[in-house]
Structures are given as structure tokens and as C-alpha cells.
Amino acid sequence: AQKITQTQPGMFVQEKEAVTLDCTYDTSDPSYGLFWYKQPSSGEMIFLIYQGSYDQQNATEGRYSLNFQKARKSANLVISASQLGDSAMYFCAMRDYGGATNKLIFGTGTLLAVQP
């Protein structure tokens, strides 16, 4: 069965520094998708970045980049130049191809606190 593991319950980072949030996954399917979402205290899940298993290059979206290491089954999120507004929960998720629907499996999340 597919599984997402986020081993860092909480992280601190100084403003303007880079931070890496870890995510490992487990699947036997050769074709899958990996997502990162941000959840501020307001509750909304905000889509950040997507990486397909066949993508040749690591995904990037502004200050977000995904360090995709397929052999190690890891998909770490890198946030460069952290800002105070980056303080939030961050969830890694994977597309589940076990069923016919667009089903996401989420990790337990990492709480990021950006310090001034």
C-alpha cells in the first residue's frame, strides 16, 4: 500500500534562510505524482508544487523547489529565503493509483516556524 512519511513534526528556521522539509514515500507503482501543500492557521490547504514520477527535472515554483530522489523514494521540499508568512503546516501527498479516482494520500505534516 502507498504511504507517505514526514519525520519532522516541527522545524525552526531563521528569516531569509533556506529550509528543507523531508518526505519519503512508498509505492510499488512506477507511475505516481507527489504534491506539497501548505496549511496556515486559517485552515486552507494551499497547493505549492507537483512532481511526476517520470519528470526528468526537479520541479520548481518560485521560492519552492522539490528535491526528488527517485531511487531513495524521497521528495523533500526546499523553501529558499524564508519569510515570516511561510510559518504554517506543510503536507506531502502522493497520488494513489489503487483506485480509479484521483485519491491523495497525505503525510502527518511538518510545522514550520520562521523566526525573525
Stretch 52-111 residues interacting with another protein (CB under 8 A): 52, 91, 93, 95, 97, 99-109
Q: What are the two backbone dihedrals, phi and then psi, of residue 65, each rounded to the nearest 5 degrees?
A: -140, 155
Judged by beta carbon, residue 35 or residue 68, the one nearer another protein is: 35
Judged by beta carbon, residue 78 or residue 96, the one nearer another protein is: 96
Binder of another protein out of 2, 20, 50, 58 (CB under 8 A)? 50
CB within 8 A of 86, min separation 6: which ones? 38, 79, 112, 114
Q: Please name every residue paired with 64 in a beta bridge, in sequence order, or none if there are none.
A: 61, 79
One-letter amino acid for residue 105 of the chain: I
Q: Give a three-class secondary structure readout of 38-54.
A: EECCCCCCEEEEEEECC
Min separation Cβ 15 and another protein, Å: 26
CA distance 19 to 102: 30
Judged by beta carbon, residue 88 or residue 107, the one nearer another protein is: 107
Residue 41 binds another protein (CB under 8 A): no
Binder of another protein out of 11, 45, 78, 111 (CB under 8 A)? 45
